[in-house]
Structure 1
């Protein structure tokens, strides 16, 4: 994501002061922690199960790519698997303290529509939604470039990263299906930019990574301020 700018830091300090003044009650905080802990634990258990079975799937998919002589796509998929493994190691070794996380006591400041229903979130949830789109865009760029290098037809759905859509997610702040949705929205657009060698949907950000443009991001997220 882009580097911190002075104006953004000032905005966040103002947000922090408002959050302290409007902090959620301990009862609401406890309920949110309890619900999210259950979701995170279910997700992480499922990820461990999938991780233990992933090698067989990887080998079959890798064999298919080699038979199709898609060498660039094969290298990209191996790199994505490696990023997932490293993520699993980081999350597994992390001692998470819910009570030190301001997400759990910060009131909602946005609403958004997903699947025909409205949901509310605060700026920490907003940041994770943004991360999902940008991680998806970056992975899509890599996958699209790989298919172009291999002379393969454009087919963003036939990518394990698109199907998986969990990179960057650890069970917190958003439901998994929502994170997957925003990741795939970014992936589809990144793939198109990578495959056709253009930057219609994204740009290189200040830290050297690619990020989707603010205009496209706003359309995808559809966030509305509550106040």
Structure 2
């Protein structure tokens, strides 16, 4: 194997060394520049930091002022919020007060309405009571008027009855006067006439010969007023025919008593006896359908039909 040798020229080596030296110098210069640059950057950074610190120091009062302003704003906001809350609270209280006032007004109005209704009801009750009192007064007045009218009617009836009593008494007095004025001869003649008439007017079969007013077709003679009939006739007012005015007319015996003439339409029953008109008490009464003459000696027996005239 062959060794191959070569020779490097000095110029080339010098150039190479120069190049290396330049490169190293350049590198050193670059490093130095870089260091300078780094120091400059560091200085700049330090300056910036110092500026930042200065700026921070300068900004700190501003920050404090800003914080103070922010605190003031916060306090103002809080104060505004508090004020707003107070206003809201006042508004709520006012609204509640208004509601309470409204409720109170409604309650007062309801109480007034209830009071008015109660007053109206009371007024209605008073009006009703007044109407009832007025009606009661009218009823009392009517009753008083009716009572007064009844009293007047009673007084008039009593007066009328008194007048009838006086009339009957006068008639009786007149009859008695007439009887006393008659002469004994006239009385004797009348008594004889009565005996003859009454003997002819008796009946031995009275049940067949007797006819009541219904069988006769109804009573058609004069009717005695009810007051007179109750006051002067009936079973409590008896008399005897023998002493009364007497006549025989149209085939029927007649006698006068109390201002009226009584015509005996029926024959008298034979069990009365021949002298009943002289010895027996008789009375006049209205029974059923007409007037009848009854003998008190025979209570419960039918009466004989009689007709009345003035």
User: One fold, TM greater than 0.5?
Assistant: no
Higher strand share: 2
TM-score normalised per structure 1: 0.32
TM-score normalised per structure 2: 0.25
Higher-RCO chain (CA-CA 8 Å, sequence separation at least 6)? 1
